[in-house]
Amino acid sequence: MLMVDTTKNTMIYTTWGSRNAKPVQPLVAAKLISKAKRPLLVIGADALDSDVINKAIAIGKKGLQIAATGHSMQGFKDQDVNAKYVNIHFLAHYLGDKNWKGLDGQGSYDLVIFLGHKKYYVNQVLSGLKNFTDIKTLAIDRHYLQNADMSFGNLKPEDHLEALDELISNL
């Protein structure tokens, strides 16, 4: 049984163009992450404002590598997760470089998952990735992010946390 339908509300205020993110349910998102060879979880500083940071830690504990953008690194201090600080704009640049060895020196990534960012900001980062790289992107924030390949729809904060729980339990 679905707990939260994360695909219902995909309203946008302005458009980047004719391509739209495919709305996904938490279960599908979890499967995508589990199937990826080199997933990277990108956590923004807005995660620190709410319980989202704990959800990020929980995902990290499932073995996902974390790119901590902004000052989200604060939230990962003394947590047993593999988190490294990187500026999100730099990250977007490096992801477009086939010779980049990744944050851990093991190579680039095939799926990049975004959580905890300002909507307008991460949409720009996603726009760069969408137009200039082959990397698959998944947004699990509480806003529908048009420029991701797949995204949750617009969610109320409490529904968002519930959806993240569902995602985590299916990883």
Partner 1 sequence: MSKITTGKFSLEDLENVQITINNIVGAIETKAEEEGVEMGPTPKPGISSLRNWDYKLLSRYQPVYTPVCDQCCYCTFGKCDLGGNKEGACGINMEAHQAREFLLRVITGAAAHAGHGRHILHHLIEKHGGDHPINVGPSNLLAPNTQMVTGIMPKTLGDLEKVMDYVEEQLTQLLATIHVGQEGSSLDFESKAMHGGMLDHVGMEVSDLAQISCMGMPKSDPEAPLAEIGMGCIDSTKPVLLVIGHNVAGVTYIMDYMREHDLDDKMELAGLCCTAIDMTRYQTDKGGQPRAKIIGALAKELKMIRSAAPDVIIVDEQCVRADVLDEAKRLFIPVITTNEKIMYGLPDRSKDSADKIIEDLSSGKEAGALILDFDLLGEVAPRLAMKMAPIREAKGIKSLPSDEELKTLTASCVQCGACELVCPNNLPIMNAMTAAVAGDITKFEKLHDHCIACGRCDPVCPKGIPILNVIEKAAQRAIREEKGKMRAGRGQISDPEIREEGVNLVMGTTPGILAMVGCSNYPEGTKDLYTVANEMLQRNYIVVMSGCSAMDLGMYKDEEGKTLYEKYPAKFLAGNLINVGSCVSNAHITGTAIKVAAIFAQRNITGNYEEIADYIMNRIGAVGVAWGAYSQKASSIATGCNRLGIPVIVGPHGSKYRRALIGKPYNEEDWKVYDARNGEEMPIPSSPEFLLTTAETIEELMPMIAKNCIRPSDNNMGRMIKLTHYIELSQKYLGHLPEDWYKFVRVETDLPITRREELLKILEKEHGWEIDWKRKKIISGPTMKLDVSAQPTNVKRLCKESVC
Binding residues (CB under 8 A) for partner 1: these are 11, 13, 16-19, 44-45, 69-71, 73-74, 77, 84-85, 87-90, 92-94, 96-97, 99-101, 117-121, 124-125, 127-128, 130-132, 143, 154, 156
Closest by CA to 16, choosing from 126, 146, 166, 152, is 146
Per the CB < 8 A criterion, the answer to whether 129 and 92 are in contact is yes
Q: Is 40 helix (H, G, I), strand (E, B) or coil?
A: strand
Rounded Cα gap, residues 128 and 130, in angstroms: 5
Question: In angstroms, what is the minimal distance from the CB of 75 to partner 1?
Answer: 8
Residue closer to partner 1, measured from CB, 25 or 72: 72
Q: Using the minimum distance from each CB to partner 1, give the nearer residue, 159 or 166.
A: 159
Shortest separation between residue 171's beta carbon and partner 1, angstroms: 26
Nearer to partner 1, 12 or 27 (CB): 12
For partner 1, the closer CB: 30 or 112? 112
Minimum gap (Å) between residue 107 Cβ and partner 1: 13
Least separation, in Å, of the C-beta of 84 and partner 1?
7
- Per-residue CA distances from 2 to 29, 136, 151, 155, 162 (Å): 13, 25, 17, 15, 11
Rounded (10°) CA dihedral 8, 41, 81, 65? 140
- For residue 152, what are its two tokens? 């949750």
* CB crowding 29-55: b at 16 or more within 10 Å, else e: bbebbeebeebbbbbbbbbbeeebbeb
Q: Which is nearer to partner 1, 127 or 170 (CB)?
A: 127
Q: How far is the CB of 60 from partner 1 (least distance, A)?
A: 15
